[in-house]
């Protein structure tokens, strides 16, 4: 299988949670050694950053890695993990009938044993015990394993594991039970934050808290050891700083592992799925352990937190009008950007030229720290993060320049044009009122003709008055 490239996302890689950055695309770095697992993912737990992936979204059979979800549901649903249960073999004996008996894993738990939920969690996480996982599911599910599996799938949906589906709590073969390296990383990261889970899965050896001396008279020999040989100091696969979490073997699904490793304050989670069970000669081989060690060594050797953008870097300038003194303002990053970076690539090769200004020009005054734009960091044509740019210093306003500007802009102001229109309308109304008043006044001074006057008749002769003479 051809090696894939790393995915390095800058936002999650920030050490300071307040940094303003966006998610970015993948950057292509090369893993030194080819791994055998068909799917893999390597996550830096400190900054929640995926630094390597290979077929991370390919669906694979998880095998007993499903016990991680079984444990999560048990811990979250069980009111008292110290509650004691009496083991009933009839709960898990139907699992003995299988086409793949080599997939069955036991912890020497016998019918009638009394164990706590905590004991069963250890048996399941350290030994992939089907007695433990099936008993947990049966009891937490209200005497229904099916009901428990529904809780597993509901939790998967809650966590956004869109490419994961559970059909049983044991991890035994079922073609309808599948997950991906990416989903398993999300689940494991969540589980590590769940109460008790981390301490359980990172324990190398455990003795049940309840003796059960009737069936286990030699209690000292009834010890469960973690199946992850990377935790065994006497093993050729021992890796200092490893926390086991979970291994899984499935005849039809190969070998799987979820493991963490810590060194010099750095913490990584590796997920490897479907590594071959045997080598080319047919010999039993633990490629999943070799792959995990390869990934851890590569990460610890080649990655470190580096300043990729100092907060003192001056990345550009913007013209400033009405300024007193310099007619521009310098821009710098709002904060220092620190991220997980590949040591063999000089950070000076990261491009800072992609800048988007909020405005192409400004007017004084400008305050120090005022947002000016955003710079996008790029490497090999890929975006690796963004950071807001702010003003380096104050830019004061010139009183003289401002007064001249105000006088010049006065006639152009929108409010000035509106006031002219309003004034014109008011004047027009006033003139109309004056005209109307004048007309009314003139009409009042005009003489009124008498309505009883006798009209003069043309052609009528003037009558003479009668004489008083006799």
The domain that contains 384 carries what CATH number? 2.60.410.10
Q: If pLDDT is split at 50, 70 and 90, which confidence band does 3 have?
A: very low
pLDDT in tens, 32-46: 889 999 999 999 999
Predicted pLDDT of residue 278: 95
Residue with token string 């594991």: 161
For residue 446, pLDDT beyond 80: no
Based on the fold, state whether residues 125 and 272 are members of the same structural domain: yes
- Output the CA torsion sign for 60, 66, 68, 74: positive
pLDDT in tens, 404-434: 777 776 666 666 677 778 888 888 888 888 8
Predicted pLDDT of residue 27: 62
Nearest to 227 by CA among 121, 134, 125: 125
As a whole number, mean pLDDT of residues 284-288 equals 96
In a domain, 16, yes or no: no
Predicted pLDDT of residue 88: 98
Predicted pLDDT of residue 424: 83
For residue 469, pLDDT beyond 90: no
Whole-structure pTM value: 0.77
Based on the fold, state whether residues 333 and 378 are members of the same structural domain: yes
In a domain, 394, yes or no: yes
Predicted pLDDT of residue 465: 54
Predicted pLDDT of residue 56: 96
In a domain, 450, yes or no: no
Nearest to 102 by CA among 36, 37, 172, 169: 172
Pairing mode, if any, of strands 254-263 and 266-275?
A: antiparallel
In a domain, 96, yes or no: yes
Predicted pLDDT of residue 459: 53
Predicted pLDDT of residue 17: 32
In a domain, 201, yes or no: yes
In a domain, 447, yes or no: no
Whether the link from the prior residue into 468 is cis, omega within 30° of 0, is no
Predicted pLDDT of residue 421: 83
As a whole number, mean pLDDT of residues 322-339 equals 93
Burial call 69-107: b when 16+ CB within 10 Å, e when fewer: bbbbbbbeebeebeeebebeeebbeebeeeeeeebbbeb
Nearest to 131 by CA among 102, 111, 146: 111
Based on the fold, state whether residues 114 and 173 are members of the same structural domain: yes
Based on the fold, state whether residues 266 and 321 are members of the same structural domain: no
Based on the fold, state whether residues 179 and 93 are members of the same structural domain: yes
Average pLDDT over the chain, rounded to an integer = 88
Three-state SS at 318: strand
Based on the fold, state whether residues 216 and 116 are members of the same structural domain: yes
Beta bridge partners, 323, equal 397
As a whole number, mean pLDDT of residues 268-287 equals 96
In a domain, 91, yes or no: yes
Based on the fold, state whether residues 295 and 325 are members of the same structural domain: no
Based on the fold, state whether residues 389 and 292 are members of the same structural domain: no
Predicted pLDDT of residue 434: 86
Expressed as residue numbers, the domain containing 350 is: 310-400
As a whole number, mean pLDDT of residues 75-97 equals 97
Among candidate residues 289, 305, 321, the one where a domain is terminated: 305
Q: If pLDDT is split at 50, 70 and 90, which confidence band does 23 have?
A: very low
Based on the fold, state whether residues 46 and 117 are members of the same structural domain: yes
Nearest to 108 by CA among 196, 207, 204, 247: 207
DSSP state of 242: E
Give the chain's domain count: 3
Based on the fold, state whether residues 284 and 213 are members of the same structural domain: yes
Predicted pLDDT of residue 464: 53
What percentage of the chain exceeds 70 in pLDDT? 86
Q: If pLDDT is split at 50, 70 and 90, which confidence band does 300 have?
A: very high
For residue 237, pLDDT beyond 80: yes
For residue 456, pLDDT beyond 60: no
For residue 169, pLDDT beyond 50: yes
DSSP state of 79: S
Residue with token string 């997920």: 271
Based on the fold, state whether residues 296 and 314 are members of the same structural domain: no
Q: If pLDDT is split at 50, 70 and 90, which confidence band does 447 have?
A: low
pLDDT in tens, 112-122: 999 999 999 99
In a domain, 186, yes or no: yes
Based on the fold, state whether residues 228 and 351 are members of the same structural domain: no
- Output the CA torsion sign for 260, 263, 267, 273: negative
């Amino acid at each position: 299988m051809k090696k894939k490239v790393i995915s390095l996302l800058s936002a999650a890689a920030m050490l300071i949670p307040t940094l303003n950055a966006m998610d970015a695309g993948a950057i292509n770095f090369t893993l030194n050694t080819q791994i055998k697992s068909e799917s893999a993912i390597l996550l830096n737990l400190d900054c929640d950053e995926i630094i390597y992936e290979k077929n991370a979204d390919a669906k694979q059979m998880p095998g007993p890695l499903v016990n991680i979800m079984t444990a999560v549901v048990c811990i979250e649903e069980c009111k008292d993990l110290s509650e004691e249960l009496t083991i009933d073999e009839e709960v898990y004996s139907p699992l003995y009938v299988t086409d793949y008996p080599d997939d069955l894993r036991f912890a020497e738990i016998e019918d009638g044993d009394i164990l706590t939920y905590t004991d069963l969690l250890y048996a399941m996480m350290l030994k992939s015990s089907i007695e433990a996982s099936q008993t947990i599911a049966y009891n937490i599910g209200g005497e229904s394993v099916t009901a428990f599996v529904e809780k597993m799938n509901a939790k998967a949906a809650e966590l956004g594991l869109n490419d994961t589906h559970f059909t049983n709590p044991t991890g035994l073969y079922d073609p309808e039970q599948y997950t991906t390296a990416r989903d398993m990383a999300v689940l494991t990261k969540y589980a590590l934050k769940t109460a008790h889970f981390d301490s359980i899965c990172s324990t190398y050896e455990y003795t049940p808290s309840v003796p059960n001396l009737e069936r286990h008279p030699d209690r000292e020999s009834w010890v469960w050891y973690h199946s992850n040989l990377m935790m065994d100091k006497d093993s050729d696969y021992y890796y200092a700083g490893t926390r086991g979490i979970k291994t899984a073997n499935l005849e039809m699904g190969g070998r799987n592992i979820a493991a963490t490793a810590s060194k010099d304050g750095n913490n990584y989670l590796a997920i490897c799925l479907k590594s071959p069970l045997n080598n080319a000669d047919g010999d039993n081989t633990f490629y999943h352990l070799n792959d995990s060690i390869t990934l851890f060594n590569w990460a610890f050797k080649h990655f470190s937190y580096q300043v990729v953008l100092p907060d003192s870097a001056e990345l550009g300038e913007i013209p400033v009008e009405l300024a007193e003194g310099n007619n521009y303002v310098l821009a710098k990053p709002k904060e220092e950007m620190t991220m997980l970076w590949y040591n063999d690539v000089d950070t000076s090769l990261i491009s800072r030229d992609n800048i988007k200004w909020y405005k192409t020009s400004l007017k004084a005054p400008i305050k120090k720290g005022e947002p000016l734009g955003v710079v996008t960091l790029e490497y090999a044509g890929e975006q690796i993060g963004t950071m807001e740019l702010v003003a380096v210093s104050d830019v004061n306003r010139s009183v003289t320049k401002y007064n001249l500007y105000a006088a010049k802009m006065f006639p152009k102001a929108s409010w000035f044009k509106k006031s002219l229109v309003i004034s014109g309308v008011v004047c027009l109304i006033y003139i109309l009122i004056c005209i109307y008043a004048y007309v009314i006044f003139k009409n009042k001074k005009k003489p009124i003709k008498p309505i009883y006057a006798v009209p003069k008749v043309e052609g009528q002769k003037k009558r003479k008055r009668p004489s008083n003479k006799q």
